[in-house]
Structure formats: structure tokens, C-alpha cells
């Protein structure tokens, strides 16, 4: 890729798009279209397809392609779409890059290698090889809860300075490291665009230097994140805080499921909320996850939607 073809840096609210499924586990295109339309109408700045919230790890290659085709078709260039090319090691990631080239994508999102343990040397070689094979900017996705390695701020800034990556999606849960990353990035001329993936502390990330957010919860309440982003740009921190606190209260939906963990709880709660809001037809999850079918849990999720002003909005 040449620098002249690089798009303007992608900032703002870029929700990691959920992948709606039908009752028998197939891609639910009508629900996907409703979901995307709702995000666009709320004013999001981009769409991140096939992220962790998009259940990428659960989909085989054909499904991944089907999702990208549907998302890019629905978005139709209204905002940039970036796509996860997440897999264990370099060759497999590049295989996904190749498969994604035919879609209209504004970038790719890749993690460090996983499953097989790798060290700094291999992580560096990995990102350089992936970027060299990509026809659009590459974002580094720092998500130790899945990858079990933390990307160091120094390394990320070095990759940015070398033009290997365009930015970072930080889902590290390590706000101290994020602050250091922001400081080092600034000190190096800001080669990186920094986005946070943590729904309930986006306000602090904005103070630290985030240029935007990639909130899974943004599927449920895109308007809240868009308003928070605009308030942050305007320096209206009381508004930022007010919006963040409401969104943090809304985020409690992910703690309602009993006996579930990981995306079965988190993405499961998002899908259930969106079903209750009339956006998705089902709350079905990819195998081997089962949907939230406990009526009491669903009721608690509805209550939280009401308390945070989402469900009334849906009823209006």
C-alpha cells in the first residue's frame, strides 16, 4: 500500500458489529440491515465487522465472507467498514486478507499471534508480514483476554512510526498502559490513531487521548456513544460523564446472565437487548454458545433498558 492511497484516519464511534443469526444459526440479513441502518442513523463514524463481538472466532471461512458481503453491501460506502482478519498465526491471517480483498473495506484489524506461544520477535514479524500483504491500513487489536499477550506501548508506537499499523484498538483492560501508549504516541508525532474498546471507561480514554471508541455496547445504544464523542470533541466533560454513566448503567446487562461467561454472556446480552428493542429477530449465538433463554434474565435486561431510557425510546 502507498501512503497516498491511505484514507484519512478513522476516528469517532466505530461499533464492532454484532452478527445477527436466524433461529437455525444462519446469517439473518434482515436483522443485519436493521442493525446497520440504526447505527448509521445514529451517526456512527465507521463499522468494524468480524470483531470479537461479531463472533468472528466462531465462523468458518464461508460465513466470514458472507458477513463481509452483507455488511459492505448494506453500508454501501456511507461510512468506512473495517474487518477483522483474526486468526492464530501469520499465514492464516493473510489467508483472510486475501479472502476479504474483494469487499469494499477501509482497513483490517489483526491481533498478535495466539494459540502457539510467541515472543516479541515473532509478534513484530507477524504484524510486518500482515501489513505487507494488506491492501488497506492495518489496525493492531490489543486484547489479552483472548490472545494472552499484551502489546507493549513501545512496540505499538514503533510499528506506527514505521507505517506498519495505522492505529490500535485497545481492549487490554490496562488503562495505565493505554495512558503510556497515548503519551508515547504523541511524543512520536502521533503516527497512531487510538481507539478504546472498553464501553464503560470511554470518558477516561478520551481524556487520555483516544480518538474514538469501538464499543460492543454501541450496537445497543449507538446514539449514546455518538453524543459522548461529540461532547468530548467539544470539551463538554460534564456531558461526557453524564452520558458515560448512563452507558455504564446500561452495560450492566452483560452481568445478568447466570452460568455464562465470555461472549455467551456479553454478546448474548447485547443480542437479547436488541431483540427486545425490536432490532434483531433472535438472540441466537454461534455454536457452541447457547442463547440467553432464562426469562428472569431477559426481564432484568428489559428493566435495565427501561432504566437507561432505551426501551421507552423503542416503544415511542
Binding site as annotated, residues: 214
Residue 119, φ and ψ in degrees, nearest 5: -110, -175
Candidate residues 67, 81, 82, 94; the one interacting with its own copies per rule CB under 8 A: 94
Residue span binding its own copies (CB under 8 A) among the ranges 73-81, 223-231, 232-240, 291-299: 232-240
Helix (H) or strand (E) holding 120: helix 120-133
Candidate residues 44, 50, 109, 208; the one interacting with its own copies per rule CB under 8 A: 208
Min dist. Cβ of residue 264 to its own copies (A)? 6
Cβ burial 129-150 (10 Å sphere, 16+ → b, else e): bbbebbebbbbbbbbbebbebe
Number of Cβ within a 10 Å radius of residue 212: 26
Shorter beta-carbon distance to its own copies: residue 103 or 237: 237
Residues labelled as active-site residues: 141, 169
Burial of 290 (0-12, 13-18, 19+ CB in 10 A): exposed
Residues 136-175, mask of contacts with its own copies (x by CB under 8 A): ---------xxxx------------------------xxx
Range 168-197, binding its own copies (CB under 8 A):
173-176, 179-180, 183
Q: In this structure, what C-alpha cell is assigned to residue 98?
A: 486475501
Candidate residues 26, 88, 101, 312; the one interacting with its own copies per rule CB under 8 A: 88
Binding of its own copies by 288 (CB under 8 A): yes
Distance CA(169)–CA(133), nearest Å, equals 20
Binding of its own copies by 316 (CB under 8 A): no
Please give the torsion angle defined by the CA atoms of residues 57, 61, 63 and 67, in that order, rounded to the nearest 10 degrees: 80
Binding of its own copies by 313 (CB under 8 A): no
Shorter beta-carbon distance to its own copies: residue 37 or 239: 239
Binding of its own copies by 233 (CB under 8 A): no
Count of residues interacting with its own copies (CB under 8 A): 71
The DSSP secondary-structure symbol of 235 reads T
**Strand, coil or helix: 20:** coil
Residues 11-40, mask of contacts with its own copies (x by CB under 8 A): ------------------------------
Amino acid at each position: 500500500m502507498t501512503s497516498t492511497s491511505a484514507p484519512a484516519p478513522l476516528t469517532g464511534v466505530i461499533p464492532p458489529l454484532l452478527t445477527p443469526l436466524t433461529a437455525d444459526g444462519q446469517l439473518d440479513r434482515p436483522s443485519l440491515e436493521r442493525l446497520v441502518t440504526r447505527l448509521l442513523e445514529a451517526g456512527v463514524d465507521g463499522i468494524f465487522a468480524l470483531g470479537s463481538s461479531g463472533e468472528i472466532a466462531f465462523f468458518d471461512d464461508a460465513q466470514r465472507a458472507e458477513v463481509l458481503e452483507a455488511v459492505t453491501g448494506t453500508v454501501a460506502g456511507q461510512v468506512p467498514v473495517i474487518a477483522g482478519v483474526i486468526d492464530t498465526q501469520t499465514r492464516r491471517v493473510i489467508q483472510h486478507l486475501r479472502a476479504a480483498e474483494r469487499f469494499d473495506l477501509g482497513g483490517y484489524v489483526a491481533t498478535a499471534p495466539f494459540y502457539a506461544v510467541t515472543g516479541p520477535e515473532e509478534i513484530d514479524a507477524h504484524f510486518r508480514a500482515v501489513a505487507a500483504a494488506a491492501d488497506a491500513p492495518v489496525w493492531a487489536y490489543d486484547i489479552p483476554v483472548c490472545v494472552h499477550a499484551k502489546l507493549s506501548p513501545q512496540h505499538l508506537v514503533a510499528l506506527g512510526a514505521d507505517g506498519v499499523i495505522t492505529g490500535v484498538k485497545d481492549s487490554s483492560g490496562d488503562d495505565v498502559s493505554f495512558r503510556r501508549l497515548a503519551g508515547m504516541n504523541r511524543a512520536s508525532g502521533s503516527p497512531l490513531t487510538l481507539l478504546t474498546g472498553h464501553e464503560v471507561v470511554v470518558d477516561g480514554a478520551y481524556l487520555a487521548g483516544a480518538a474514538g471508541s469501538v464499543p460492543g455496547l454501541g450496537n445497543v445504544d449507538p446514539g449514546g456513544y455518538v453524543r459522548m464523542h461529540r461532547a468530548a470533541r467539544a470539551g463538554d466533560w460534564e456531558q461526557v460523564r453524564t452520558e458515560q454513566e448512563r452507558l455504564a448503567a446500561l452495560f450492566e446487562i452483560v452481568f445478568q446472565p447466570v452460568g455464562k461467561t465470555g461472549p455467551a454472556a456479553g454478546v448474548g446480552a447485547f443480542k437479547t437487548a436488541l431483540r427486545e428493542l425490536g432490532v434483531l429477530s433472535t438472540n441466537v449465538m454461534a455454536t457452541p454458545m447457547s442463547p440467553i433463554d432464562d426469562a428472569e434474565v431477559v426481564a432484568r435486561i428489559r428493566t435495565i433498558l427501561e432504566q437507561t431510557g432505551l426501551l421507552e425510546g423503542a416503544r415511542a
